[in-house]
Amino acid sequence: MQPETNSVPAVETADLKRIYKVGSMEVAALRGIDLCIPAGGFVALKGRSGSGKTTLLNCVGGLDRPTSGTVRIFGEEIARMSDRQRTRWRSRHIGFIFQSFGLLPTLSAYENVELMLRISGARIRERKERAVYCLNLVGLTKWMHHRPYELSGGQQQRVAIARALANKPRLMLADEPTGELDSTTAREVLTLFRHVIEHEHVTILMSSHDQLVDEYVDRVVSLRDGQVIS
Ligand code: ADP
Ligand code: MG
């Protein structure tokens, strides 16, 4: 890892607020979040449904715009970017993982991963090498040419993790990645996240409402009604 990567936090938010306008009503999803996550960390956002986990992940990843406050990712303030810059920055530096995997059903595991590299403009040889490498890292070498419906939920989430890693992101954001998995499979995925942090030097910020994750992460940040309570 680069020395400067170590000193700059992966994620830093200051007084982050997100207020949704629904008709004449205002819903304060985030009410001033101050968060600092060091590079290489594995952090869980916990809280009940509606506490603001998804909104926070989306603001951190540049999928949603905060109403006020700042988000810095490795020292860069993402609100300062234009939409186009932000989209490019996101595909280069952030890997997203979702609860329901979000794989393209007609493509094989390999093709799902390779597509990300195609979109980012990698050359054919690099695409092939990186896709094979990522699928191997998540333990799916043997299943590489299978389609999502031929894979278990845990295997599908592994494909999604390989896909999120394809472009060598520095930060992975995972929204309830174990939400649809049984506890044994959830443990396997959490162990895999640790493995990925070691081998790919990423930082992982994950949301969950599962007690199980506490054993695996470096830190738990608890949210209630859009505020950090721990
Ligand atoms: P969590 O992921 O912890 O379940 P969310 O971030 O999805 O929480 O939601 C936080 C709050 O913001 C909830 O009260 C939710 O109803 C509200 N909310 C989320 N997204 C929207 C939206 N697009 N429009 C209006 N309200 C929203
Ligand atoms: Mg959510």
Place of tokens 């309570």: 229
Range of the domain at 39: 11-228
pLDDT of residue 6: 57
Instruction: Specify the pTM.
Output: 0.94
Has residue 212 been placed in a domain? yes
Has residue 211 been placed in a domain? yes
Domain of residue 109, CATH code: 3.40.50.300
**Which of ligand 1's atoms lies nearest the C-alpha of 51?**
3
Ligand 1 neighbours by CB, cut-off 6 Å: 20, 22, 27, 29, 47, 49-55
pLDDT of residue 1: 46
Q: How many helices (H) and strands (E) does the chain have?
A: 7, 10
**Which of ligand 1's atoms lies nearest the C-alpha of 223?**
3
Q: Provide the Cα torsion 100, 101, 102, 106; round to 10°.
A: -120
pLDDT in tens, the chain (230 residues): 444 545 799 999 999 999 999 999 999 999 999 999 999 999 999 999 999 999 999 999 999 999 999 999 999 998 888 989 998 899 889 999 999 999 999 999 999 999 999 998 999 999 999 999 999 999 999 999 999 999 999 999 999 999 999 999 999 999 999 999 999 999 999 999 999 999 999 999 999 988 999 999 999 999 999 999 97
Has residue 77 been placed in a domain? yes
What Rg do the C-alpha atoms of the chain give, in angstroms? 17
Gap between the Cα atoms of 208 and 197, Å rounded: 18
Structural domain count of the chain: 1
pLDDT of residue 209: 87
| 33: CB partners within 8 A, 6+ apart | 13, 15, 16, 17, 52, 56, 69, 226, 227, 228
Has residue 119 been placed in a domain? yes
Has residue 217 been placed in a domain? yes
Ligand 2 centroid vs 54 CA: distance in angstroms?
4
Has residue 5 been placed in a domain? no
State the ligand closest to the CA atom of 49. Answer: 1
Has residue 1 been placed in a domain? no
pLDDT of residue 195: 94
State the ligand closest to the CA atom of 58. Answer: 1
**Which of ligand 1's atoms lies nearest the C-alpha of 22?**
25
pLDDT of residue 79: 85
Has residue 55 been placed in a domain? yes
Ligand 1 centroid vs 169 CA: distance in angstroms?
26
pLDDT of residue 225: 97
